[in-house]
Amino acid sequence: MSIRSFIVAGLFLALAGCQADSGNQNAAVIAAAKAGYDAFAKGDMEAWAATQAPDSQWEMPKGFPYGGNYVGPQQVIEEVFMPIGELWPDFKVEPTAFHAAGNVVFIETKMTSGGVTSDSIHKVVIENGKYAAFQVYDDAGFMMAHSTASASIGNQYFEDGSSKPLLAGSGANVQIWMDYIAAHNERDFEAIAAMNTEDFRGVAAHGEVVEGNAAHTAFLQNWVATENPQWRVWWVIANDGENADGVMEEWLATGNVVTTTGPDGAERRAYETIDVLLENGKIKMLNVASQTMPD
C-alpha cells in the first residue's frame, strides 16, 4: 500500500472517530434535555429539579404574566410553573424532536393550553449533564388568548397573600337568584327552603347566624311579620373560582334594594350587598352587608 493510501485511510478513520464522538455527545445532551421534559410530564417536581443546575438560568418571553428571568429550579416552580397551572389547567408540553449542536439542544414542541395546540421551539444549554440555561419561544399572544386570564373578571385573595382568578359564571346562576328573590317577595317559604341546600347557612347584616332551613324560615317569617320587607334586585354578577383547597366554587355577588315598613308606618330603604355561594344549583351560604339609603 502506498504512503498516500495510508494517509487517506487515516483521514477516514479520524473522521469516523470524530463523528462517533459527536454522536455520543449529542445523544448525552439530548438525554439530559429529555429527562427534564419527562419529569415535568409526570408532575414530579423533585425529579424535575434534579435535572436542573442549582443556578440554572431560565428566560421566559414577554407577553406572559411570568415573562422574565429566573434563577434556580425553586424559583421556576413557584413563579413560572404555578402561574402556568392557574392560566391553563390542561397545560401540556410534548417534545416532538430534539436537535443537538455541541451542548445546546433545540426542542420542537407541541403546546396544549386552553384546549388548543400551538407549536414552539425551546432551547436548552446542558452542562455537566444538567440544565444550565433554558429559553422558550412560545406564541404568547395565542396562548394567553386561550388562558383563564382571558375570561377573568377579577381575582380572589387568600390569607397567605396568594390569589387566583375569578371567572365569569353561568347565566343560569343569575336566574337562580332572580327566582330566589321572587319567592321571598311572594312569601313562598317552601320554595325558598327547596332552593337552599340542607346545610344552608346565612349571616345577616347585623351579625346573626342562621343555620339550616328551619331557622331560615323562622327568621324570614319574623322579619315579614315585623317589617314586611320587599326586595328589588339591582345587579347580579355570577363568578366561579377555586378556593384555597383548589376546589372550584360558584358564587354570585349581588346588589339589592330592600324596602321595609317600620312600626310607625314609615317606609325605609336599605342597600344590601350579598355574597352567595351555590352548590349543585342551590343556595348554600349567604353573607349580607347592609346600609340605610338616604331619602
Both 11 and 127 in one domain: the answer is yes
Q: Which of 114, 146, 178 is where one domain is finished?
A: 146
In terms of domains, do 88 and 201 share one?
Answer: no
Q: Is 178 part of a structural domain of the chain?
A: yes
Examine residue 118 and state whether it is found in any structural domain, yes or no.
yes
pLDDT above 70 (res 115)? yes
Query: What CATH number corresponds to the domain at position 196?
Result: 3.10.450.50
Question: pTM (2 decimals)?
Answer: 0.56
Higher pLDDT residue, 285 or 62? 285
Higher pLDDT, 96 or 7: 96
Q: Note whether 140 and 169 are same-domain residues.
A: no
Any domain includes 159: no
Same domain, 198 and 113: no
13 within domain boundaries: yes
Question: Biggest alpha carbon distance in the chain?
Answer: 126
Q: Are 187 and 103 in contact (CB under 8 A)?
A: no
Distance CA 139, CA 116 (A): 12
Instruction: Compute how many other C-beta atoms are within 10 angstroms of the C-beta atom of residue 14.
Output: 10
In this prediction, residue 4 has a pLDDT band, given cuts at 50, 70 and 90, of very low
Domain limits for position 187: 165-292
Q: Are residues 111 and 220 in the same domain?
A: no
How large is the average pLDDT for residues 200-229? 97
170 and 112 in a common domain: no
Q: Are residues 25 and 140 in the same domain?
A: yes
pLDDT for res 76: 97
Cα(132)–Cα(136) distance, integer angstroms: 14
Q: CA distances (Å), 291 to each of 7, 171, 210, 228, in order?
A: 98, 27, 20, 18
* 173, 278: one domain: yes
Instruction: Choose among 288, 264, 286: nearest CA to 276.
Output: 286
User: Edge-to-edge strand order for the sheet containing 282-292?
Assistant: 152-157, 163-168, 230-242, 248-261, 267-279, 282-292, 196-203, 209-211
Tell me the sheet residues that pair with 157: 163
Write down the pLDDT at residue 13. 45
Which of 118, 146, 174 is the endpoint of a domain?
146
- Residue 74 belongs to a domain: yes
Which of 90, 118, 146 is at the close of a domain? Answer: 146
Does 130 lie in the same domain as 75? yes
d(CA 91, CA 215): 46
Q: Is the pLDDT of residue 209 over 50?
A: yes
* Residue 208 located in a structural domain: yes
Pair 124, 187 in one domain: no
Whether 106 maps to a domain, the answer reads: yes
Span 224-266, pLDDT tens digits:
999 999 999 999 999 988 888 888 899 999 999 999 998 888 9
pLDDT digits (tens, 9 = 90+) for 148-205: 777 778 888 999 988 888 888 888 999 999 999 999 999 999 999 999 999 999 999 9
Q: Is residue 158 part of a domain?
A: no
291 pLDDT higher than 80: yes
Same domain, 60 and 132: yes
- Please tell me the number of Cα atoms within 13 Å of 22 on its side-chain side: 10
pLDDT at 6 over 70: no
* 9-57 pLDDT, tens digit each: 444 444 444 444 556 789 999 999 999 999 999 999 999 999 999 999 9
In a shared domain, residues 109 and 27: yes
Total domains in the fold of the chain: 2
- Look at residue 138 and tell me whether its pLDDT is greater than 70: yes
